[in-house]
Structure 1
Amino acid sequence: MRIVFMGTPDFSVPALETLIASEHQVVGVVTQPDKPRGRGNNVQMTPVKKAAVMAKIPVFQPVRLRDPGALDQIAAWKPDAIVVVAFGQILRKEVLELPKYGCFNIHASLLPKFRGAAPIQQVILEGEKKTGVTIQQMDEGIDTGDILAQAEIVIDPCETGGSLHDKLAVLGGPLLLQVLRKAEQGILRHVAQNEAESSYYGMLHKKMGLIDWKKSAAEIERMVRGLNPWPSAFTFRGGKSLKIWKAAVVPGEEGKSCGTVLQAGKESFTVQTGEGALEVLQVQMEGKRRMSAGEFLRGFPMSAGEQLG
């Protein structure tokens, strides 16, 4: 099968590499334009472009798929199917209808829940026990197409957004190959999504990481894990931001206001929340490197009764 692959970030690369190593032919890759990144603000290739260049696959980088000539370029590759993995642009109807077998999307959750741009982080924030990937037949909606296949994994109690990202990234490729083979054989089973069970979440943004100490310790602990590595959970101390990278839920103290430091020991400090308390184990002060709470406390002493936030 002739495949055009559309994707941009690191998450997309394992699926592309799986296709390249398969019996299918990846005839072209569409990815977002290169952008300045890092401290030097140097223009860098997207992760998907790097993988495509290594495999000597033609790359197309339109600013928008609606730009003149974009459809012609994709059509010139004569794809039997288009595979989309975290591409970053909405596909118009003309693109969706171009290939013989249509467009397949690898979505990083068990649809119909957690549609949108940040399903990996949201399942942790919401306290889900399991997640997975969904292969869907794309339509003009956002993650609304028929479900073709799903693979599940259990969410570890210590799972972070970063660790779950890596697990799900390698889960979709083998499942996609099964879907493509069934499509060629004409035995694909389409399952319509139940709209009553659907939920949609937008993109992550930096302000999402600001800790509201009135929330329960369990909610904040999930926030610490779910938003790791970006945008990260943070509070303020003495006018400077204090990122919290690792924490645990412990009993709180009645009568203490939310955000109050209950105790500061040798290896951690504990903060009262709206329900229970949060034992902070790893932090990063503004302008400093990430460190254990114990190391932080030796350099920046903290005492019970101090207020954070």
Structure 2
Amino acid sequence: MLKILFAGTPECAVPVLHAIAQKHHIVGILTRPPAAVGRSKKLIPSAVALATEVLKSEKRISPAAPLFTPEKLNKDVREAIAAVSPDVMVCFAYGKIFGQSMLDLFPLDAINIHPSLLPRWRGSTPVPAAILAGDTKTGVTVQQMALEMDAGDILAQCTIPLDGSETAESLLNLCAQKSADLTLSVLQKITDKTLSPMPQDHSAATFCGMLTKEMGLINWHNSAEEIDRRHRAFVPWPGTFTYKNNEKLSIQALAIATSENTQNAEPGTILTADKKNGILVQTGKGIISLIQLQRTGKKSLYWKDFLNGSAEFLTGKFNASL
């Protein structure tokens, strides 16, 4: 049984935490500090912090195991981590890059879980990146931690086929579930001293950056397939939206009506908005059907309900911007 420091923050890291708690001795948990949420700016602990408290109450993690929530990984924090004598650090979406002085604290290894098939999609948003690119497969990689982001030797991988219906949310949840067993297999190899690290082909690396709110604006000159990919990649954040009469219209659900052009209309033109044909919008190539919509300050509505009160809103063209 290994002594593990677990480092992670969001909900996707929780299944791995649970799996490790069943098989190994978690001597400490490292997570980001509570974050201010909503208009009230109430401080909310991370998903990993909340899960840790539950596991402690169930005696699956020792109540004495410290929960570290530092703003910075300074010398005092590193000394406190060293004091619990971890063998291995397991990291999944902690939210900070570790320096060498941190990695040196773990005599057996420091490993990181990354939801892509490295070296493809190094960076902070590999799940949306795979969807945006129209990849037909992705996966999970367990790698040795290195100073360069996501450049460590590969310890294990599993492949997840993509069928074009995944959202970033559903795919990340699947990656999280796959990560649990994959991580346990690597920890067993560390225990057995049978690891066979495989260097990455750095020349094949691709990279992905942070998402921004502005990226959710639909460019109707793109093809229907591109718009669909962007919509699925941006669930739940930043979401997709357009403008009509200087009002923002959020699109919670859409579908490709056809991938080919069937009408001679400008991109962004609202072709139909009735209960027989639905809400159909011309794109640069193909037609998009809007399924779930939300006007500013109003409820999100299924398209038929939306038409009951806003049919007059859906005439003409959507704007590219305000």
Residue of 118, 127, 135 corresponding to 2:134: 127
Structure 1 counterpart SS, 2:229: helix
AA of the residue aligned to 1:30: L
Residues 108-130 of structure 1 deviation map (CA, whole Å, 9 limit, x = unaligned): 11111111111111111111111
AA of the residue aligned to 1:60: F
Residues 6-53 of structure 1 deviation map (CA, whole Å, 9 limit, x = unaligned): 11111111111111111x100000111112213432111111111112
Q: What is the Cα deviation at residue 304 of structure 1? A: 5.2
- For the 8 Å contact 2:9–2:31, the answer to whether it is kept is yes
| Most deviating of 209-218 and 248-257 | 248-257
1:258 matched residue in structure 2: 267
Q: Show structure 2 runs of 5+ residues with no match.
A: 57-62
Distance 1:38 1:305, change over 3 A: closer
Q: Distance in 1 between matches of 2:316 and 2:212?
A: 31
Structure 1 counterpart SS, 2:75: coil
Q: Distance in 2 between matches of 1:298 and 1:156?
A: 34
1:168 matched residue in structure 2: 175
Q: What is the Cα deviation at residue 68 of structure 1? A: 3.4
AA of the residue aligned to 1:269: I
AA of the residue aligned to 2:274: G
Alignment of structure 1 residues 116-265 onto 2, 5 Å: 116-249=123-256, 250=258, 251-265=260-274
Q: Distance in 2 between matches of 1:129 and 1:288?
A: 37
The percent identity for this pair of structures is: 37
Residues 232-287 of structure 1 deviation map (CA, whole Å, 9 limit, x = unaligned): 01111121211112222214345421111112221621111111121111212222
TM-score by length of 2: 0.91
Residues 128-187 of structure 1 deviation map (CA, whole Å, 9 limit, x = unaligned): 111111100011010010111011222243211111121111111111111011112121
Alignment of structure 1 residues 1-309 onto 2, 5 Å: 1-22=2-23, 24-54=24-54, 55=56, 56=63, 57-65=65-73, 67-249=74-256, 250=258, 251-266=260-275, 268-302=278-312, 305-309=316-320
- For the 8 Å contact 2:7–2:89, the answer to whether it is kept is yes
Q: What is the Cα deviation at residue 89 of structure 1? A: 0.5
Q: How many residues align?
A: 307
Q: Show structure 1 runs of 5+ residues with no match.
A: none
AA of the residue aligned to 2:261: G
Distance 1:84 1:179, change over 3 A: same
Structure 2 counterpart SS, 1:215: coil
AA of the residue aligned to 2:3: R
AA of the residue aligned to 1:37: V
Structure 2 counterpart SS, 1:298: helix
Q: Distance in 1 between matches of 2:16 and 2:5?
A: 12
Structure 2 counterpart SS, 1:300: helix
| Most deviating of 247-256 and 8-17 | 247-256
Distance 1:234 1:70, change over 3 A: same
AA of the residue aligned to 1:296: F
Q: What is the Cα deviation at residue 196 of structure 1? A: 2.2
Q: Distance in 2 between matches of 1:307 and 1:39?
A: 30
- For the 8 Å contact 1:253–1:272, the answer to whether it is kept is no
AA of the residue aligned to 1:288: K
Q: Distance in 1 between matches of 2:38 and 2:318?
A: 34
TM-score by length of 1: 0.95
Structure 2 counterpart SS, 1:301: helix
| Most deviating of 82-91 and 117-126 | 117-126
| Most deviating of 266-275 and 209-218 | 266-275
